[in-house]
């Protein structure tokens, strides 16, 4: 299985590239890549500025397919899946620093032949912490062509399996593994509660 890390967004709420923010001894993107490394035989970073990530080793860098003017994570998933050398890919954003290795491994192990394997938490899918098959490429392209960018809008065209809250809680009691760092305030809060968050993420 491949891992696809999305890093092609504008980080407008943060005001600077959030992937490169320092958290403890590592940048956010390094934390993510280090968590994924033992689990996947290829890691694909989808970014239009690969030069900003020269410090990451053994990574495949790809740019977004040039089919849209605007930015959105769906185009990143599409571009990553097209480039992936495996039939399945686990997709994550560049701003989810408390990824739980145990949960991701569980997802890899429990995948059967579904097209999407995804946590369903508090009434919502977690589309940026999910496994997608290459069979999703066509339905995603259809959405992009219709200028519809909500990831879950193609789910009715593919087979889906979900992971429930209780299962996720076995790995990450308070769902810290899905925590996004989108704003500078969120970044400051995380730094303040760093030790506690690291434990909760386990
Ligand atoms: N490859 C790629 N990734 C994207 C694109 N747009 C967003 N992403 C990624 O998708 C994830 C979620 O993005 P958001 O937080 O919604 O958007 P963002 O642009 O990063 O941040 P804001 O500008 O503050 O909304 C992040 O990892 C982004 O880097 C895109 O056009 N291409």
Give the model's pLDDT for residue 194. Answer: 75
Does ligand 1 lie within 6 Å of residue 179's CB atom? no
> Where would I find the H helices in the chain?
28-36, 73-83, 101-110, 137-145, 165-169, 184-192, 194-201
**So what's the pLDDT on residue 191?**
86
Q: Which residues pair with 90 in a beta bridge?
A: 3, 131
Which of these, 170, 22, 6, lies nearest to 93 by C-alpha position? Answer: 6
What is the ipTM metric for this complex? 0.97
| Owning domain of residue 160 | 2-201
Q: Which of 61, 46, 38, 54 is nearest to 8 (CA)?
A: 46
Q: Please indicate whether residue 184, judged by its CB atom, sits closer than 6 Å to ligand 1.
A: no
Q: Check residue 100 and give its pLDDT.
A: 96
93 CA → ligand 1 middle, Å: 7
196 or 83: which leads in pLDDT:
83
Task: Return the CATH number at 108.
Answer: 3.90.550.10
CA of 10 to the centre of ligand 1 (A): 6
Alpha carbons 121 and 171: distance in angstroms, whole number: 14
Mutate to test the pocket of ligand 1, among 7, 9, 19 (most ligand atoms within 8 A of CB): 9
Residue nearest to atom 32 of ligand 1 (CA): 8
Does position 200 have pLDDT exceeding 60, yes or no? no
Higher-confidence residue of 142 and 192: namely 142
- Domains identified in the chain, total number: 1
Index of the ligand 1 atom closest to the CA of residue 94: 27
Tell me which of 16-30, 93-107, 134-148, 181-195 is least confident.
181-195
Residue 197, pLDDT > 80, answer: no
**pLDDT tens column, 95-146:** 999 999 999 999 999 999 999 999 999 999 999 999 999 999 999 999 999 9
For ligand 1, the distance from its centroid to the CA atom of residue 148, given in whole angstroms, is 16
CA 162–ligand 1 middle distance (angstroms): 23
Residues 6+ apart with CB under 8 A from 120: 126, 162, 163, 164, 165
Q: Is 114 in the pocket of ligand 1 (CB under 6 A)?
A: no
For residues 69-78, give the mean pLDDT. Answer: 92
Residue 6 annotated as binding? Answer: yes
Residue 7 Cβ inside 6 Å of ligand 1? The answer reads yes
DSSP assignment, residue 102?
Answer: H
Count CB neighbours of 41 within 10 A. Answer: 9
Tell me, in angstroms, the distance from the centre of ligand 1 to residue 74's CA: 9
Among the listed residues 182, 20, 179, the one whose alpha carbon sits nearest the alpha carbon of residue 196: 179
Q: CA-CA distance, 6 to 4, in Å (whole number)?
A: 6
């Amino acid at each position: 299985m491949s891992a696809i890390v999305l890093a092609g967004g504008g980080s407008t709420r943060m005001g600077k590239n959030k992937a490169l923010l320092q958290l403890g001894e590592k940048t956010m993107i390094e934390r993510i890549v280090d968590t994924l490394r033992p689990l996947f035989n290829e890691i694909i970073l989808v970014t239009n500025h690969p030069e900003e990530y020269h410090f990451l080793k053994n990574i495949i860098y790809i740019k977004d397919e040039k089919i849209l003017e605007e930015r959105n994570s769906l185009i990143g998933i599409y571009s990553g899946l097209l480039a992936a050398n495996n039939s399945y890919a686990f997709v994550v954003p560049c701003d989810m620093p408390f990824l739980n290795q145990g949960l991701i491994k569980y997802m890899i192990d429990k995948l059967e032949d579904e097209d999407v394997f995804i946590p369903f938490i508090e009434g919502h899918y977690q589309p940026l912490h999910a496994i997608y098959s290459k069979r999703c490429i066509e339905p995603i392209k259809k959405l992009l062509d219709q200028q519809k960018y909500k990831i879950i809008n193609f789910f009715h065209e593919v087979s889906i399996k979900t992971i429930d809250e209780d299962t996720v809680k076995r790995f990450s009691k308070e769902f810290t593994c899905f925590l996004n760092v989108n704003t500078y305030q969120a970044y400051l809060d995380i730094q303040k509660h760093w030790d506690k968050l690291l434990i909760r993420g386990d």
